[in-house]
Amino acid sequence: MTQAKRYSVLISAYACEPDKGSEPEVGWQWVMHLSEYFDVTVLTRSNNKKTIEDKLICTRGSYPKFVYIDLSSADQKTKKWMKPKFIAMTWYYSSWQKKAFWKIKELQRINHYDLVHHLTFASFRLPFAVAGHNTPCIVGPVGGCEEFPEELLPERGWQIKCKEIFRNLVTRLCTGPGFGMRKYHYADQVIASTFEMQQIFSEHGIKSLVIPQIGVSAEPLGTEPKEKARSNETKLLFVGAVLYWKGLELAIHALRMLPHTVSLTIIGSGADEDILKKEVQRLKLTDRVHFTGRKPHAEVLRLYRNYDLFLYPSLHDSGSFTVLEAMAGDLPVICLDRGGPALSVDNKCGQVVKSQSREETLESLCAAVSYYIDRPDKIAIHAENARRKLIDSYDWSKKAEVMAMIYHDVISQR
């Protein structure tokens, strides 16, 4: 991509830290790759400073300028003792955005940025500080409107049911009457991270583009696909937080309906691990469901290739790095038609299962696994297609090029 002028851009990225995974990694990758096209200044938290500056010492080429702000030590102590955690985080983040608003005003007065962009956090419910500066502004990619379908709530575990129903109600309060949606009308361009989020924006008269929030680097994708050894066993893998909304209870119940030669390994830990282990015991599946706990990331990347299929029936993920890692590790992915995974996977590189009633969804998950049991040759074909899709749609360099074109369009329209 060529450009006549190298524009000056300010990016607000509350979460922005290298080698941390999840949203901090998303923030870091976006700002680093966008700095190839623009003079980028990043406004982020002060507690990210050491990690960022240590990384920049060994970084070649262009990279952003970082400006660090944070709340007072008293506010940070308040955040630590405030319960529950999500209320503490929301309060602290919202307070940080208020401070960021005035910092952006100060920086804009000095530097005259051509565009400001809110990048992280990426939840549509949360406030942002980039609007109201008489400067073209972009918000996103944002997501988080995806609900837990009530027909797929677990048969047991009233705490889980209450938590997810409450989350659904809060989401509907925002997306129905539109509480919190008004702020998006002040952005020149809104970007959604899922089709569900784009639909909600559309219902409120907000035009948006869909771009996945997450991405991968091209370097680890250079290895040729590995041919898997033939076996009578079918080994399923899940990697991620061990939580009900990741669809693990559905995965366990689907396994019970599959042949005894099919097993499931769960790599990760989480708040619902003990409840799910009890469910495995109740269903007498302890010989087929294996909980390994957390493992070092480098080891997990090697382990992908020891399995046949990646089972990830998450119910409200806006995006999943482990789905992309599995695709890079030569695994077709089986997911539900919900959120970010449904954007990453298609039926040429995996199986996208329609979420319906509980019984129908379980039957469809089983049918998706059986598809590969009956057609083992499809595993290698879909694995190759998955790697190709990663390079075409999720490589950070290509994603930054797409975002750069959006920047130019927004600036030119003002």
* Lookup: tokens for 410: 């927004």
Could you report the per-residue pLDDT of 151-174, keeping only the tens digit for each?
Answer: 888 777 777 788 888 888 888 887
Other beta carbons within 10 angstroms of residue 178's beta carbon come to: 15
Q: What is the pLDDT of residue 45?
A: 95
> 238 to each of 266, 268, 294, how far by Cα in Å?
5, 8, 12
Tokens of 350: 């995996």
Give the mean pLDDT of 81-92: 86
**How much of the chain exceeds pLDDT 90, in percent?**
65
* Distance (Å, whole) CA 274 – CA 264: 17
pLDDT of residue 218: 61
**pLDDT for the residue 189:** 97
- pTM for the full model? 0.87
- What is the chain's mean pLDDT, rounded? 89
DSSP secondary structure code for residue 38 in this structure: S
Share of the chain above pLDDT 70, in %: 95
pLDDT band at 60 (very low <50, low <70, confident <90, very high): confident
Distance CA 100, CA 69 (A): 8
What is the pLDDT at residue 166?
86
Asked if the peptide bond before residue 84 counts as cis, ω within 30 degrees of 0, the response is yes
Give the model's confidence band at 58: pLDDT under 50 very low, under 70 low, under 90 confident, else very high.
confident
Count of beta carbons in the 10 Å neighbourhood of residue 358: 16
pLDDT score recorded for residue 226: 53
Six-digit token string for 275? 């409840």
CA distances from 332 to 121, 278, 295, 298, 346 (A): 30, 29, 22, 20, 10
Between residues 60 and 269, the one the model is more confident about: 269
The answer on pLDDT for 142 being more than 90 is yes
The pLDDT of residue 145: 87
Say how far apart CA 89 and CA 74 lie, in whole Å: 15
DSSP string over 123-176: BTTS--S-SSSSS-EEEEEEB------GGGS-SS-HHHHHHHHHHHHHHHHHHS
Q: Is 20 exposed, middle or buried (0-12, 13-18, 19+ CB in 10 A)?
A: middle
Q: Which amino acid is at 321?
A: F
pLDDT surpassing 90 at residue 391: no
Q: What is the mean pLDDT of residues 233-254?
A: 92
Mean pLDDT over residues 270-299, rounded? 92
Quote the pLDDT of residue 323: 93
Nearest to 119 by CA among 7, 20, 29: 29
Tell me whether domains 8-143+180-215+395-413 and 219-393 share a fold: yes
Q: What residue spans define the domains of the chain?
A: 8-143+180-215+395-413, 219-393
Task: State the average pLDDT over residues 43-66.
Answer: 90
Higher pLDDT, 52 or 157: 52
Instruction: Answer whether residue 220 shows pLDDT above 80.
Output: no
Lowest mean pLDDT among 122-131, 212-221, 254-263, 399-408: 212-221
Does the pLDDT of residue 191 top 70, yes or no? yes
CATH placement of domain 8-143+180-215+395-413: 3.40.50.2000
Asked if residues 126 and 318 have their Cβ atoms less than 8 Å apart, the reply is no
Q: What is the average per-residue pLDDT within 93-121?
A: 96
CATH of 219-393, one of 3.20.20.100, 1.10.760.10, 3.40.50.2000, 3.30.1330.10: 3.40.50.2000
